[in-house]
Structures are given as structure tokens and as C-alpha cells.
């Protein structure tokens, strides 16, 4: 992966293919490889003729590990995305975010609307505006000496995933403990680019895709049959919905 400095924070990224750029923003405790390469997204999009850019969020993957709570938060992390576009000389791109990446994508589009051609919110529905519950147990699970000490089922799932992705548990705990700026329905109503919301129908973390789409002018929602939060990201129907969405005239 290549690297660049985002206001002093080293961010690792991939840039492959040619054509209209698509920026991919991964979810919490994930990384480019797990979220976008292993699931087939890179091949799907480059084969369809797009230039695909994806980066490891700060605290994740091959990017800098930070332990100060003030170094995180979706608005701050959205500026990493904007600076990467600046670094690559890209005026605007389609943006696809999954879970935490969807929150980051929303803040990017709200703060810098001219940089976003279209938005795909994956793995995050109406809970985008309801806030994130249970971050304390997840942080405690990440800080526990062993996964055997974690009894909360949801928190244990995150700890297991973080270990599978070989993440820096201390950095992830700081990330999830950081102040989480709310996204209001009023802010989402200002989005003027095309928006697609895709969530698994069994995803209790993301919430209803229809509920979020109803808050955004012209947005459309897709519920993936039988998919939960972890399994929706690589779903074939998710990819096809996105390809159809990106192929539509502006």
C-alpha cells in the first residue's frame, strides 16, 4: 500500500484501475483487505471500469495507530478522506462507506458536498441518526486481557473480529471511545447527491435502510435478504445494486 500524510497522520491506501473514481471507506475494526479486497469489491469495481481508491482509517490496518481520543471521531476521519482526494488530485468521487465508514462518508458529503458524486451507505440504516449504543462494553472488550474475560455477546463479536483482522486493540478502543458527533435528520436532508442505502435485513446494528432513506431527498433503500451486519458486506446483491446505481446517469 502507498502512504501519505493527512495533517501529520500517516494513512495507507490503494489506488487501482482507471475511469471514474470510487472511494471506499471501511468499517470499525476492519481494513482495506478485509472489507474490500477479500469480499471481491476491488475486482468487481475495477472490472466494471472504475478507478478504485480505498484507505485504512486512522487506527486501523497499515495506517497510524493513535491512542488519544481527540484524534478520532467521524468528522475528523472524514477529513482523511478529503485529504486523500486532494493528494491524488481527484476533484470528486463516488463514495461507498460500510458501517463506521458510512458515518464517515456522510460527514464527508455534508462538509464537502462538491467532492462527492454519489453516496452509498452500506451496513448502516436509520441507526446513523439514532447514534451508536453499547460502545462502552465494546471498548471494555477490546481492552480486556483476554477474550475469555468478555461475556457481553455483541462486545465479544467485535473483539473476535478485531483479533481476526490483527488490529491494534488499544487504538480501536480509543477510536470507539472518542466523542461521536451526531448526524441529524436536518443535516442529511441537505444532501443533494444521489444516495443508496443498503443494509442486511437481519442487521440489528445498522437498523432499517428504509428509515434512513426516508430522511434523504431522493434516496433509495435495499434490504439484503437473510444477511446480518457481518455477512452483508460481501453479498452479491449488494454489489449488483451498487453497480446499477453507479451506472445511472447523474
* 177-198 pLDDT, tens digit each: 886 678 999 999 999 999 999 9
Give pLDDT, residue 249: 82
Residue-wise pLDDT for 64-112, tens only, equals 999 999 999 999 999 999 999 999 999 999 999 999 999 999 999 999 9
Would the pLDDT of 117 be above 60? Answer: yes
Handedness of CA 164, 2, 193, 104 (dihedral sign): positive
Handedness of CA 141, 39, 23, 195 (dihedral sign): negative
Select the CATH number that applies to the domain covering 2-130+183-247 from these four: 3.40.50.1820, 3.40.50.970, 3.30.565.10, 3.40.50.12660: 3.40.50.1820
Domain ranges for the chain: 2-130+183-247
Q: Which three cell numbers stand for residue 89?
A: 488530485
> What span, in angstroms and rounded, lies between the C-alpha atoms of 198 and 208?
9
Give pLDDT, residue 178: 83
Give pLDDT, residue 173: 93
Range 68-100 burial, b when 16+ CB lie within 10 A, else e: eeebbbbbbbbbbbbbbbebbeeebbbbbbbbb
Whole-model pTM?
0.95
Amino acid at each position: 500500500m502507498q502512504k501519505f500524510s493527512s495533517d501529520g497522520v500517516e494513512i495507507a491506501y490503494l489506488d487501482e484501475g482507471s475511469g471514474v473514481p470510487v472511494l471506499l471507506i471501511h468499517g470499525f475494526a476492519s481494513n482495506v483487505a478485509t472489507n474490500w479486497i477479500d469480499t471481491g469489491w476491488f475486482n468487481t469495481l475495477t472490472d466494471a471500469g472504475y478507478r478504485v481508491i480505498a484507505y485504512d482509517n486512522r487506527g486501523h490496518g497499515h495506517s497510524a495507530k493513535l491512542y488519544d481520543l481527540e484524534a478520532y471521531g467521524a468528522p475528523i476521519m472524514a477529513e482523511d478522506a478529503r485529504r486523500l482526494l486532494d493528494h491524488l488530485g481527484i476533484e470528486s468521487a463516488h463514495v461507498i462507506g460500510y458501517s463506521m465508514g458510512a458515518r464517515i462518508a456522510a460527514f464527508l458529503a455534508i462538509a464537502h458536498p462538491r467532492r462527492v458524486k454519489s453516496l452509498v451507505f452500506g451496513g448502516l440504516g436509520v441507526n446513523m441518526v439514532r447514534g451508536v449504543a453499547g460502545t462502552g462494553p465494546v471498548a471494555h472488550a477490546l481492552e480486556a486481557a483476554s477474550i475469555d474475560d468478555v461475556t457481553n455477546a455483541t462486545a465479544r463479536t467485535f473483539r473476535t473480529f478485531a483479533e481476526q483482522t490483527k488490529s491494534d486493540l488499544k487504538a480501536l478502543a480509543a477510536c470507539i471511545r472518542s466523542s461521536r458527533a451526531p448526524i441529524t435528520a436536518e443535516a442529511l436532508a441537505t444532501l443533494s447527491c444521489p444516495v443508496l442505502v443498503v443494509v442486511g435485513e437481519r442487521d440489528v446494528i445498522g437498523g432499517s435502510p428504509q428509515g434512513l432513506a426516508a430522511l434523504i431527498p431522493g434516496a433509495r433503500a435495499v434490504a439484503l435478504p437473510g444477511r446480518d451486519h457481518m455477512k452483508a458486506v460481501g453479498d452479491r446483491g449488494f454489489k449488483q445494486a451498487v453497480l446499477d446505481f453507479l451506472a445511472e446517469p447523474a
